[in-house]
Amino acid sequence: MSGASITAEPPPRAAPEAKEPGRWRKYALAAGFLAPAAVFLTVWVIYPTIYTIVQSFYAGSGFGDFAGFDNYRTLFTTDIFQTAIKNNFIWVAVVPALVTAIGLVFAVLIERISWSVAFKTAVFMPMAISAFAAGITWRIMYEQDPDQGAVNAGIRSVKDTFTPAGVLSSASPSTDELSGSPTTGYTLADSVEPGEVASLGLTRIPPDEVPEGAEQAVKPEPLQGGIDGVVWRDFKPGGGKAGEVEQDELGLPGVTVELKDASGMKVASTTTEANGTFSFEDLEDGDYRVGIGAATFAKPFGGVSWLGERLITPSIIIAYIWIWAGFAMVVIAAGLAAMPRDVLEAARTDGATEWQVFRRVTIPLLAPVLAVVFITMLINVLKVFDIVISIAPGSVQDDASVLAVSMWRTSFGGTNNFGLGSAVAVFIFVLVIPILLLNVRRFRREI
């Protein structure tokens, strides 16, 4: 069972010259052709499989310390393994179905375009790349800082188009006279009547967030029949009085000031000048409220933490789908191409809509192909390894762990607990056995 048998087998030569070789001669010839494969499969696959199964019932390395089911008990009760099992379960539940579905959609859609070869090449290309290199590629994509990670940069550019970041994302009121929150905006607590001056002091504005072109703040003179006021940075190096416009305090230009009537209805809005002043003219008598809208305080998009402990598994799954969608698409497209067109045409002639044809004819006819894709993905997902250890940063490796990763960690990650590692391997093996039986049944029928 050791390597001795590698060299012990004679190389397959011995070609019989006789025209009608005897029965035994024929068998010997076949044995010669099969011998190298038999050696490889016995020494590297079958013998190790038996060894690993036995090892999983022993503690540590070797067969000195029989442990019964202890290793399996550890496997199902330890946190780190439970996380791995849970994650692998997520992979199994999500990935094969999603990859098959995406492959089906792509395969159906590209039948309607003239450049399907180019599309196929683009989507199929990641199949050639190692899962490891793909992982590193996606780790670069996922960097949290939107200035570095392309995924977050993409989200930010979309988000900024619809809800741009406010001028003053970190400001807060300098006195209690302004009340509210960054998400609702800030409004003066007291109502204002025409002819009065509103002072809206803000503080906690870092120097680099002061809008460009800001000048010395000015408290304007009261306005006849209108309301005016100032929005300024109520902060003076070395002190100063809160709520009062003082020398060296800057006006805040470009801030949107809103005017509401007594019932809370917005009646007008305006933008502040370089010195922070604003005014609403020609107002009817009555009580008004002056405030600054929430948009001014909207936080810029800080980036989703794709590689953080909460999102790490979905992030890796996205990268994995990027690799495998092409496989599903190509196999399903081939299945589509081989489909009897007359059946589809007959359905259409009978007045079925395209959706009905797809749902009632295409999918049932494609079922065997879809099953093959699904099962292939199931096997792949149970053994997923490279992409997990290449995307997950060290700090979240435990959160992202799957069975194959924990098998490697346990067996070769320093602790070298071969018994426990074998138990993990056997667990993976047990999970693929139904697929193994399925394959065998399928081919027994075929032969």
Interacting residues with another protein between 108 and 147 (CB under 8 A): 108-113, 118-119, 121-134, 136-141, 143, 147
Q: Which of 34, 93, 262, 367 binds another protein (CB under 8 A)?
A: 34
> Which residues are paired to 200 by β-bridges?
231
Strand locations in 215-364 (E)? 227-233, 256-261, 266-271, 277-280, 288-292
Q: Which of 49, 179, 271, 415 binds another protein (CB under 8 A)?
A: 49
| Nearest Cα to Cα of residue 78 among 391, 316, 423, 426 | 423
Residues 425 to 444 in contact with another protein, rule: CB under 8 A = 425-426, 428-429, 432, 435-436, 439-440, 443-444
Of 246 and 399, which CB lies nearer to another protein in the complex structure?
399
46 binds another protein (CB under 8 A): yes
Site string for another protein, 332-371 (x = CB under 8 A): --xx---------x--x----xxx--x----------x--
Q: What angle do CA 101, 106, 107 make, to 5 degrees?
A: 95
| CB of 119 closer than 8 Å to CB of 110 | yes
Q: Which stretch binds another protein (CB under 8 A): 163-171, 198-206, 248-256, 407-415?
A: 407-415
CB 45, min distance to another protein, A: 6
165 binds another protein (CB under 8 A): no
| Nearest Cα to Cα of residue 359 among 374, 347, 371, 368 | 347
CB 431, min distance to another protein, A: 9
CB 86, min distance to another protein, A: 19
How many angstroms separate the most distant Cα atoms in the chain? 122
Q: Which stretch binds another protein (CB under 8 A): 170-178, 187-195, 205-213, 381-389?
A: 381-389
Q: Which of 80, 94, 153, 339 binds another protein (CB under 8 A)?
A: 153
By the 10 Å C-beta count (0-12 exposed, 13-18 middle, 19+ buried), 78 is classed as middle
CB 39, min distance to another protein, A: 9
82 binds another protein (CB under 8 A): no
| Nearest Cα to Cα of residue 237 among 223, 229, 249, 245 | 249
How many Å apart are CA 400 and CA 340, to the nearest integer? 44
Of 256 and 362, which CB lies nearer to another protein in the complex structure?
362
3 binds another protein (CB under 8 A): yes
Site string for another protein, 274-313 (x = CB under 8 A): ----------------------------------------
CB 196, min distance to another protein, A: 48
**DSSP secondary structure letter of residue 395:** G
| CB of 233 closer than 8 Å to CB of 202 | yes
- Count Cβ atoms below 10 Å from residue 379 Cβ, excluding itself: 14
The kind and range of the H/E element at 198 are strand 197-203
